[in-house]
Structure formats: C-alpha cells, structure tokens
Amino acid sequence: MKLETAKSLLLIVLIGTSLILTFGMWNYRAEYEPLNNEGSIDQVDLGGEQKDVSDVVMPNDIIFKMNGQYFGHVDPMDKVQFFGEMQQWEITGIQNSNIAEEKESDAEVEVIFPTEIPLSLFGDILNMDDSFAHSANFYVDRFYIDLQEDNQLLRIRFVERGGENVVEGVIRSVTNYDALLSIFNDLTDDKYEEMKLLTDTARNIYIPVKPKTMTSYTYTFDTMDAVKIRNIMFSNPNLVSVSESAPGSIMYRTDNRQLNISGHGMRFINVAEPNNEPTEISILQRSLDNINEYSGFTDDYRLDSFSEESIAYRLYHFQYPVVNNSYMDLSTIYQEWHNDQLSEYNRSLISLRMIINTSTKKLRNSDEIIASIQRNENQSDIRDVQIGYRLTIESDDNGEDYILLEPNWYQRINNSWSTVPDQNADTQSLEGGS
C-alpha cells in the first residue's frame, strides 16, 4: 500500500531528525573568540591559599582578666584554637550602649588585634545574626567579653578608643558561658601564664611575666618568578620594557606602570588615572579579591594595618609576627588603592620551604622589657609589644641563600616594628635598622 510506505518513510525521517537534534544539543558549543586573544596569558598562580576576611584578621593577644590579674595562653596554638571557638559563638542584640554604666566585671576577656579596623568588619569575623547596620561605625582594635553571672550570659563590647561610642551584644548560650567560666577556673593551669599590663603606652599592652625560651629557625626558601609577577601586574606583557637598573634588580615599565623586582621583593606603582566608577566594595575585600585571584597569599599573612586607602599584611610564623624592615620589606604585603585601582603594591616574593636548622634562644625577661619601654622617650607612641621573628637572608659558604628567623622582643610605633632596645647594651641605638 502506498500510504503505508509514505508513513514508514516519514517515521524514519522523524526518528532521524530527533536523533540529530539530541546530539546537536549535547555537543553544542557557542563559537566565540577569546576576549583578549592577543598576548593573553594563562591565569597566573603563585601557589598560595585563598583567604577571606576571617583568615587574615586574627588577634595577637587574648587576655583573661580576673580579680586584677591578667593571664594569657602559653602556647599560641591554644590561643588560635580558642579564638576559633569564639568565632562560633552566636552574638545577638547588637546595639549602641551607654558608656556611663561602666560596670566592672570580675571576669573579662580582652581580644586584641594588630590594627584598628572598622567595626562593621567584625560581622565577617564573628558569628552574628544581625549586622552592625543599626549601630555606630568606628574603628576598634579590640573587643571585650565579660561573664554576667546573674543571668548566665556573655556580653561582648566594642569600645571606641578615646571616643563616645560603645556597641554591645550578648551571647545567650549556657554552653559558651560554661566554657568560658571553666577557663577562668583553670587559669592557674600550666596552659596559662600571667601577664603584666602596661598603661602608659599608646594602648594597653600585656607582656608575659615568665621568661621565654624560643627557637630560631633556618629555612630554605623559594623566590617567585619575576616573569610570573610581570604577567600579573601588566595586562599586556608584550608592551612592557625591561631593564636591569642594577645587578639583580629588574625594572619593568610602561608609560603608567612600573614594577621593580630586586632583593626577593617587589615594588609596583600604577599612576594611570582610572576611568572606572568607584564602587562600594571595601578596600579589604578588594585587596583580598585581588591577591586571591593569583593565589598570592603564599604564607600565613595577616592584616597588620588598615586605612581608607591602604592595607598591609604581615607574615606570621608559628603564630608570631615576622619583621624584616629592609627596603624591600620581605615580611609584608602592602597595597594602596585609589578610586578602586591598585596604585601601589609592595610585597615579599619569598616563600619559606624547609627547615634546615634550629637553635634555641633565651629571650630577655619581662622586667627588662618593661624597664626598656618605660625608659623609651616615645613610650606614649608605642602601640604594641610582641615577641616576633626577625627575618634575615644569609648566605652560606657555597653562596646558597637561606632565611634566618630569630625570635626577639619587638615594639610597634605607628606602623613600624623595631626591636625593644636592649638596656644592657648601654644606649646602643635601635637594632634592626628601623
């Protein structure tokens, strides 16, 4: 029958087209040119970790205050772990508070950060159900948590230094309350040590009483590849002029950008006047996004200073800050942003690889440090005193470079760290070259 043959044919055609359409859909890829085909480079990766705000904003000190005595963790790892627990605590009822009702609590924790940051950033660091949207915004470098025995809850307070504003919240958890209470009961444990308070300095500073013996480390290290760095900093590398301004110092330049790589560090400036519209993204987030883009946090870098236009991260080694203070500062990452454009970027290009040697070093005891601080004519400018590692690059007999990390006492004046002057070495000028 003719109709039947026609129907069979139609059926075959229909099956065929449905097959073609199915395969077509599976395999369809839009054809488009890569956007910047010319001189484009693969995503550069410096091999670091992705970091967010809570990874880089970490406290230097957590102080437990009880009956006029001060305690801290002996092992800084315990401090980090405790802060990690604190970050889980659920904070509610954020509100402005009245500074007048200064009710001294018997038991209080003071958490001190290396730099002042806008209060709103704590929304990213701590666990809060509501943000600081309805409270005052100011810069703080510490917060306090005290035990409220009457109603078994914890109160968290952010106090503006020398200002009017106080913002507080509560942690309504019996578990958290009990956890903190048990720490206060255990402060005489070996896990904790007594601290001394310095008040004539720019901030309240706490210093451990017991003398400390620490380890010096010798490391092998890697230096990041200059070409990789060039490819990150210049969108079109084949327009960049290269010159060697001094042996081992490479200068990359265009009409508006300049990158100098020397002595294991880099300095970059960009003087272009950006056309982009300013956005509302905070400078910290912008800076983190930028560095994460090429996995630029190659070691444990933490926020060290913060302003409207600049951000500095400092290298930490086993929870202690590292100080270098050479012209190319090998212990920091520094960025300056203007109108949402990275206009200055200085950083260390080293990454620590392997410990090849250790030795122990006995640090000066607290009396000596306190005496030195009190005799310092700039005492009122000292913002912080910490044990830190001094980073130096040394060469061995074979000309092989390695990094030496030596513990010492450091004081911070404004944003620069220097060794606490040694009283015994007479009035020897400040060591450390800063």
Binding flag, residue 8, other proteins (CB under 8 A): yes
State which of residues 28, 68, 103, 182 lies at the interface with other proteins (CB under 8 A).
28
**H or E element: which one contains 274?**
none
Q: Which of 2, 30, 150, 182 binds other proteins (CB under 8 A)?
A: 30
Q: Does 188 bind other proteins (CB under 8 A)?
A: no
Q: Which residues contact 21 (CB under 8 A, 6 or more apart)?
A: none
Q: Which is nearer to other proteins, 30 or 133 (CB)?
A: 30
Closest approach of Cβ 290 to other proteins, in Å? 18
Provide, rounded to whole angstroms, the least separation between the CB of residue 345 and other proteins: 15
> Least distance to other proteins from the beta carbon of 254, Å?
5
Q: Which is nearer to other proteins, 235 or 310 (CB)?
A: 235
Considering only the stretches 29-37, 116-124, 158-166, 174-182, report the one whose residues sit in contact with other proteins under the rule CB under 8 A. Answer: 29-37
User: Should residue 58 be labelled a site residue for other proteins when binding is judged by CB under 8 A?
Assistant: no
**Pairing, β 382-395 against β 153-159:** unpaired
Handedness of CA 283, 265, 327, 112 (dihedral sign): positive
Neighbours of 196 (CB within 10 A): 15
Distance CA 345, CA 296 (A): 12
Q: Are 147 and 154 in contact (CB under 8 A)?
A: yes
Residue 41 in the binding site for other proteins (CB under 8 A): no
61: Cα within 13 Å, side-chain hemisphere: 29
Q: Are strands 320-323 and 382-395 parallel, antiparallel or unpaired?
A: parallel
Q: Is 75 helix (H, G, I), strand (E, B) or coil?
A: coil
Interface with other proteins (CB under 8 A), residue total: 40
The mark string for 243-262 relative to other proteins (x by CB under 8 A, - otherwise) is: x-x-----x-xxxxxx----
From the number of C-beta atoms within 10 Å of its C-beta (0-12, 13-18, 19+), residue 74 rates as: middle
Shortest gap between Cβ of 274 and other proteins (angstroms)? 8
Q: Which stretch binds other proteins (CB under 8 A): 21-29, 101-109, 191-199, 422-430?
A: 21-29
Helix %, strand %, coil % of the chain (to 5): 20, 40, 35
Residue closer to other proteins by CB (options 20, 281) is: 20
The interface region with other proteins, picked from 113-121, 137-145, 211-219, 264-272 by CB under 8 A, is: 264-272
Is 29 a binder of other proteins (CB under 8 A)? Answer: yes
d(CA 262, CA 146): 49
Beta-carbon neighbour count of residue 4 at 10 Å?
A: 8
Contact residues toward other proteins (CB under 8 A) are: 4, 7-8, 10-11, 14-15, 17-18, 21-22, 24-25, 28-30, 32, 38-39, 235-236, 238-241, 243, 245, 251, 253-258, 269, 271-275
